């Protein structure tokens, strides 16, 4: 049996961020993933300014042309209605997860994490602090980080299920043909393309990633929504449709137990309005590794969750604030008012973009929506009475 300080299950953005950070803190790290990299992961691959900051801090990874395409143009729609476009937004970056995740894993291995990718865990024994792999190897750990995605086997082992089906999101995506390149290549967002969610079209040089997502239980007919959305965009139906759960704002208040921590999607850290999860995955992986290092250094690995919970509170708070705001944007009865307020307010659109870029946070946007909504409702009532 091999003894390591930290076992990390899952080598996506959260797991690789945890591995790099733990190695920097001097821990011995085993990084396990059932997949061999490069591997595909269903995702739009939109990297926000906030996420770019985490990439630079944790991995030293800058926004380079070999991995990212930068866009400055954004357009917004709701049920076919043009809500306006912005041509001077802070830069947003598009990538493909196949190349992106392989690069992050490369950083983790270069930092000295031991490579256990392409191996499945056949037995996870939290009581004995051990995992057994299909190769027959058994690893004993002081702390384990479950960075194993929305269907997290670690979360299932701890809590009996990985997510709450009443709150989880679901998304469908296709890789449509690339559009003829033009100077603007706008990123398109369609509010209400799915119930309690939205649609997106991300133009990349090799393909256009088109998808939509929303609360799973509100969308029993998600395939029909996708078909309608593809028609709206004039995209054919021949591309292969893939689907994946999205932990859309159900951040776990206890992301783990004692010396077992959950990071990224496994901890439910996807923004319930924008659907952004890569940035929170990297940040939470980093914080989980720092908590593990602190708990191990003080000879008390079982205190890791306490340190991690405290450090990761701002991420959970941001997800919670977005959940409060979500009904104002996604409730069907309020949507006409939201559409009107959003279409008429360049400021509101800018605040949305500032939020994506990481230059502001939810309280600013919440305040702007709350101050615009009554005026939009009044305008609507006056319009009807005329």
Ligand X SMILES: Cc1cc2nc3c(=O)[nH]c(=O)nc-3n(C[C@H](O)[C@H](O)[C@H](O)COP(=O)(O)OP(=O)(O)OC[C@H]3O[C@@H](n4cnc5c(N)ncnc54)[C@H](O)[C@@H]3O)c2cc1C
In eight-state DSSP terms, residue 57 is I
Contacts of ligand X in 78-137 (CB under 6 A): 120-121
Among 275, 308, 315, 330, binds ligand X (CB under 6 A): 275
Task: Say if residues 137 and 122 touch (Cβ distance below 8 Å).
Answer: no
145 lines the binding site for ligand X (CB under 6 A): no
Report the distance separating Cα 105 and Cα 246, nearest Å: 22
33 lines the binding site for ligand X (CB under 6 A): yes
Question: Candidates 30-38, 233-241, 249-257, 286-294 — which segment interacts with ligand X by CB under 6 A?
Answer: 30-38
CB of 98 to ligand X, least distance (A): 11
35 lines the binding site for ligand X (CB under 6 A): yes
69 lines the binding site for ligand X (CB under 6 A): no
276 lines the binding site for ligand X (CB under 6 A): yes
50 lines the binding site for ligand X (CB under 6 A): no
41 lines the binding site for ligand X (CB under 6 A): yes
255 lines the binding site for ligand X (CB under 6 A): no
Question: In this structure, how many other beta carbons lie within 10 angstroms of the beta carbon of residue 291?
Answer: 26
Among 186, 256, 264, 341, binds ligand X (CB under 6 A): 264
Tokens at residue 153, please? 């086997």
Report the distance separating Cα 128 and Cα 283, nearest Å: 28
Cβ closest to ligand X, residue 167 vs residue 379: 167
Q: What residue is closest to ligand X based on CB?
A: 277
Which residues are 242's β-sheet partners?
173
278 lines the binding site for ligand X (CB under 6 A): yes
CA atoms within 13 A on the CB side of 340: 16
Contacts of ligand X in 149-168 (CB under 6 A): 149, 153
Among 13, 197, 203, 255, binds ligand X (CB under 6 A): 13
Report the distance separating Cα 122 and Cα 244, nearest Å: 23
**Residue 5 neighbours by CB under 8 Å, 6+ apart:** 22, 27, 28, 29, 141, 142, 143, 292, 296
**Residue 147 neighbours by CB under 8 Å, 6+ apart:** 8, 9, 10, 11, 12, 14, 15, 18, 262, 263, 264, 266, 281, 285, 288
Question: Candidates 145-153, 157-165, 191-199, 354-362 — which segment interacts with ligand X by CB under 6 A?
Answer: 145-153
Report the distance separating Cα 85 and Cα 196, nearest Å: 22
272 lines the binding site for ligand X (CB under 6 A): no
Question: How many chain residues bind ligand X (CB under 6 A)?
Answer: 39
CB of 227 to ligand X, least distance (A): 16
144 lines the binding site for ligand X (CB under 6 A): no
Which residues are 38's β-sheet partners?
none
- For the chain, helix (H) and strand (E) counts, in that order, are 11, 18
Mind spelling out the 3-state secondary structure of 311-358? Answer: HCHHHHHHHHHHHHHHHHHHCCCCHHHHHHHHHHCHHHHHHHHHHHHC
281 lines the binding site for ligand X (CB under 6 A): yes
Question: Candidates 126-134, 253-261, 274-282, 377-385 — which segment interacts with ligand X by CB under 6 A?
Answer: 274-282
Cβ closest to ligand X, residue 32 vs residue 343: 32
Q: Strand (E) positions, 156-259?
A: 169-177, 187-191, 197-203, 207-215, 242-246, 256-257
Question: Candidates 7-15, 156-164, 248-256, 345-353 — which segment interacts with ligand X by CB under 6 A?
Answer: 7-15
Report the distance separating Cα 218 and Cα 248, nearest Å: 13
Question: Candidates 278-286, 308-316, 330-338, 369-377 — which segment interacts with ligand X by CB under 6 A?
Answer: 278-286
Question: Candidates 6-14, 57-65, 131-139, 336-344 — which segment interacts with ligand X by CB under 6 A?
Answer: 6-14
Cβ closest to ligand X, residue 11 vs residue 83: 11
Question: In this structure, how many other beta carbons lie within 10 angstroms of the beta carbon of residue 62?
Answer: 10
CB of 372 to ligand X, least distance (A): 26
In the chain, the largest separation of any two C-alpha atoms, in whole Å, equals 79
67 lines the binding site for ligand X (CB under 6 A): no
**Which residues are near ligand X by CB under 6 A?**
9-15, 32-35, 41-46, 120-121, 147-149, 153, 171, 173, 211, 213, 244, 246, 264-266, 270, 275-279, 281
């Amino acid at each position: 049996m091999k003894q390591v300080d930290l076992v990390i299950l899952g080598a996506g953005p959260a797991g690789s961020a945890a591995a790099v950070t733990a190695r920097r803190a001097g821990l011995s790290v085993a990084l396990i993933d059932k997949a061999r990299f490069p591997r595909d992961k269903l995702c739009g691959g939109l990297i926000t300014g906030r996420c770019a900051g985490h990439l630079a801090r944790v991995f030293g990874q800058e926004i380079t042309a070999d991995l990212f395409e930068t866009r400055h143009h954004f357009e917004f729609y709701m049920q076919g209605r043009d809500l306006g476009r912005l041509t001077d937004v802070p830069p947003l970056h598009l990538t493909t997860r196949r190349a992106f995740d392989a690069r992050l894993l490369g950083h983790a291995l270069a930092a000295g994490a031991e490579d256990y990718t392409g191996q499945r865990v056949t037995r996870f024994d939290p009581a004995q602090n051990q995992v057994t792999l299909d190769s027959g190897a058994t690893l004993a750990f002081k702390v384990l980080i479950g960075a194993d995605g929305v269907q997290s086997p670690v979360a299932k082992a701890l809590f009996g299920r990985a997510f709450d089906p009443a709150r989880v999101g679901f998304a469908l995506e296709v890789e449509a043909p690339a559009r003829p390149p033009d100077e603007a290549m706008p990123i398109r967002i369609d509010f209400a393309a799915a119930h309690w969610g939205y649609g997106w079209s991300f133009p990349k040089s090799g393909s256009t990633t088109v998808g939509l997502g929303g609360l799973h239980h509100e969308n029993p007919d998600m395939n029909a929504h996708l078909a309608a959305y593809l028609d709206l965009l004039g995209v054919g139906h021949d591309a292969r449709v893939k689907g994946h759960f999205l932990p859309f704002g159900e951040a776990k208040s206890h992301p783990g137990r004692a010396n077992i921590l959950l990071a990224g999607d496994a901890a439910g850290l996807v923004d319930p309005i924008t659907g952004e999860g890569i940035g929170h995955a990297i940040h939470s992986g980093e914080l989980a590794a720092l908590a593990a290092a602190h708990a191990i250094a003080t000879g008390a690995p079982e205190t890791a969750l306490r340190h991690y919970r405290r450090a990761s509170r701002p991420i959970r708070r941001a997800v919670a604030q977005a959940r409060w705001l979500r009904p104002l944007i996604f409730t069907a009865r309020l949507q006409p008012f939201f559409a009107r307020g959003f279409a008429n307010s360049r400021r509101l659109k800018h605040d949305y973009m500032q939020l994506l870029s990481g230059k502001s946070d939810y309280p600013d946007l919440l305040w702007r929506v709350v101050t615009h909504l009554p005026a939009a409702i009044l305008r609507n009532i006056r319009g009807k009475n005329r």
